Homo-oligomer: A and B are copies of this chain.
Amino acid sequence: MIIAIVGLGLIGGSVARDLARTGLATSRLGVDSDPGNLRTALELGLVDRALPLAEAVTAADLIILAVPVDAIFRILPGVLDRISDRQTVVDLGSTKQLIVDAVRGHPRRARFVAAHPMAGTEDSGPAASRETLFAGRAAILCDTSDSAPDALATAERLFTVGLGMRLLCLDAACHDLHAAYVSHLPHVLAYALALAALNPEHDAQVRFSLAAGGFTSTARLAKSGPAMWYPILSQNRTHLLGAIAAFRAHLDAITHAITDGDSDRIRALITEANRIRAFIA
């Protein structure tokens, strides 16, 4: 199978590594608007050839869109315009509703599978890519009834055989709601935590010399850059604002209990939060 990977950053580069390792791709075509990324990807052997978008789309059996979600939203309709009924397009974006809305009713809609592999790091670029980034994680497939069975089967092979992921089907709205809580909200909290901890400037050196694993594991998400994350926060605005409001209500409850010195209430809130033990490793 000839596979085109559009966007050779952390995610696209890591996909490329796994496609070589698992042998799913007979040929990997790389597309990136940044010539530096393209050169690095070729040097690292992430792709076999670099091509312009239009040529890669024409040549590939499977086209994977691994660019930021604003770019997916922008280029997806044009990509579908160019493909035949034997080709499949899969996107890997962190938001889904706006993206499926952008191609609703498109004559080639059935060739598209909307997906979100739940994996990543706070780093970016092809040099940050790594093998087995996706192994064991969930790949969310959205609105699958709008995809042709053979396109869906191709996407499933990509995520299971190619990347070692487990599959979960959700409608796009449901995906965006849950992603707001487990991915987008934690990023917003990390940004606000970093901004609070970085001020005042003159305290930063001493302050961060105290930081241990707890701070690092929370604040590391604040290393994620605006090119990827502004479009995510923007596209998932409604669900994200709901999640922020829910978070804020619980933060208020804890803050009031601390202000009042209400030990029973604080202990009860901590004990309730401890229920998270059942859900995360």
> Can you list 6 A-B contacts (CB < 8 A)?
A140-B210, A175-B210, A198-B273, A199-B246, A217-B221, A230-B270
Binds B, one of A29-37, A72-80, A146-154, A254-262: A254-262
A254, chain B: closest CB distance, angstroms: 6
Total interface residues on A, using CB and 8 Å? Answer: 90
Q: How far is the CA of A276 from the CA of B191 in the complex (A)?
A: 9
Are A197 and B270 within 8 A (Cβ)? Answer: no
User: Is the C-beta of A54 less than 8 angstroms from some C-beta in chain B?
Assistant: no
A174, chain B: closest CB distance, angstroms: 8
A206, chain B: closest CB distance, angstroms: 6
Binds B, one of A12-20, A40-48, A113-121: A113-121
Residues of chain B with a CB closer than 8 A to A222's CB: 273-274, 276
A248, chain B: closest CB distance, angstroms: 7
Closest to A189 in B: B189
Residues of chain B with a CB closer than 8 A to A254's CB: 188, 191-192
Residues of chain B with a CB closer than 8 A to A1's CB: none
Are B214 and A183 within 8 A (Cβ)? Answer: yes
Q: How far is the CA of A165 from the CA of B95 in the complex (A)?
A: 43
Are A234 and B263 within 8 A (Cβ)? Answer: yes
Residues of chain B with a CB closer than 8 A to A27's CB: none
Residues of chain B with a CB closer than 8 A to A279's CB: 198, 204, 208, 211
Q: How far is the CA of A187 from the CA of B216 in the complex (A)?
A: 12
Q: How far is the CA of A234 from the CA of B258 in the complex (A)?
A: 7
Residues of chain B with a CB closer than 8 A to A275's CB: 194, 198
Are A226 and B271 within 8 A (Cβ)? Answer: yes
Are A215 and B192 within 8 A (Cβ)? Answer: no
Q: How far is the CA of A234 from the CA of B198 in the complex (A)?
A: 24
A213, chain B: closest CB distance, angstroms: 7
A93, chain B: closest CB distance, angstroms: 14
